[in-house]
Amino acid sequence: MPAQGVDCIVPSKPGGAMDLTCKLVQQGMRQLPDGAGRVLRISYVPGGIGAVAWHSQVARRRVEGDTLVAFSGGSLLNLAQGKFGKARAGDVRWVAALGTDYGMIAVRSDSPYKSLSDLIAALQRDPAKVLVGVSGTIGSQDWLKVALLVKLAGIDPKAVRFVALEGGGEAFTAMGANFVQVVSGDASEATLMSAGGSIRVLAVMSEQRLPGVLARVPTAREQGYDVVWPTIRGVWMGPQVSDRAYREWVETFERMMATPAFARLRADAGLYPLSLTGKPLTEHVQKAVDDYGRRAGQLGLMRK
């Protein structure tokens, strides 16, 4: 069993999908006979859209076999664009992918925008009047989701007013206070936030409608905007963690994700099946980073 007193680092503020990832690990581990998750602590290291947590782990906690760090497709996009400096996917050890998420667009439940078309029409009339909350800055995955949508509608993404926030939790808080009118985020976040009835999800960016809480939400594709945005979610470890400790973690995650209890927890968290560990995950991550790099280059977003 992995070392006792384990930390799962959330590279953002509480409340977003990164937070959800560590909580899913914590809950899933508790289902195992050895109760590995009972001693899993969650720590928050926001800053630099994930860069602070990345460099802290790689530079100062390289050998720690008792520390996991949450990641998402957004993390891989940031790596591809050079937003973590000279960091590369091969600088860390990729442990497990817990599931996949999808992009979504949400507004407050009292918003005048009842559909994605309503929102697009408002942006066409005057993009300066609609503030869109995103996790990260220009080039982040939340920014790209909206940029792709508005571009299909003939709107220059540069004309849209984006507000850069630190994580999905902060974005939804900002929308609740009407600091922003729209949130570009993830279906898992919307699943959690929908419980109180305070938000309306206008579209999910999946190939088909999602089951569960968001089952009635139409896809962007259904509404005439062919944008699909899947997001992997998982954890990695420092680059010099021993082979033994790394293998133990890989095996532990494989056992955890094979249980019916984990399948239920993953569904409750608004995630969908995708289970990868060790070498297959490492190969998947490198391919994703390469693909994101090509897309970012086509949009002129690569750092020189």
For residue range 114-140, what is the model confidence (pLDDT) as tens digits?
999 999 999 999 998 999 999 878 888
- Confidence class for position 217, pLDDT limits 50, 70, 90: very high
Name the pLDDT band for 212 (thresholds 50, 70, 90).
Answer: confident
Model pLDDT, residue 2? 53
CATH of the domain at 18: 3.40.190.150
Residues 20 and 118 in one domain: no
Residues contacting 109, CB < 8 A, separation 6+: 197, 198, 199, 200
**Whole-model pTM over 0.85:** no
Same-domain status, 113 and 161: yes
Q: Quote the tokens at residue 49.
A: 């859209």
Average pLDDT estimate for 188-194 = 88
Give yes or no for a contact between 167 and 12, defined as CB atoms under 8 angstroms apart: yes
* Other Cβ atoms within 10 Å of 100 Cβ, number: 21
Average pLDDT over residues 222-241: 94
88-117 pLDDT, tens digit per residue, is 999 999 999 999 999 999 999 999 999 999
CB atoms within 10 A of CB 231: 25
Q: Do 83 and 117 share a structural domain?
A: no
Residue 110 shares a structural domain with residue 258: no
User: What's the average model confidence in pLDDT over 133-161?
Assistant: 91
**Within a domain: residue 205?**
yes
Residue 35 reports pLDDT greater than 70: no
Cβ contact 76:89 at 8 Å: yes
Does 224 map to a domain? Answer: no
**What residues have CB less than 8 Å from 245, skipping those under 6 apart?**
2, 3, 65, 237
Determine the Cα–Cα distance for residues 267 and 42; give it in Å rounded to an integer: 21
Is 284 in contact with 276 (CB distance < 8 Å)? yes
Does 172 fall in a domain? yes
- Look at residues 214, 239, 261 and tell me which one is the last residue of a structural domain: 214
152 vs 60: CA distance, rounded Å: 44
Identify the H or E element spanning 100.
strand 93-108
Looking at residue 207, its amino acid is E
How many other C-beta atoms are found inside a 10 Å radius of the C-beta of residue 148?
Answer: 20
- Asked if residue 198 and residue 117 are part of one domain, the reply reads yes
Band of pLDDT at residue 36, cut at 50, 70 and 90: low
For residue 55, give the amino acid letter.
H
CB-hemisphere CA count at 13 Å for 136? 25
Residue environment code for 190-222, b if the CB has 16+ CB neighbours within 10 A, otherwise e? bbbbbeeeebbbbbbbbeeebeebbeebebbbe
Taking the CB of residue 36, how many other CB atoms lie within 10 A of it?
24
Provide the residue range defining the domain that includes 119. Answer: 102-214
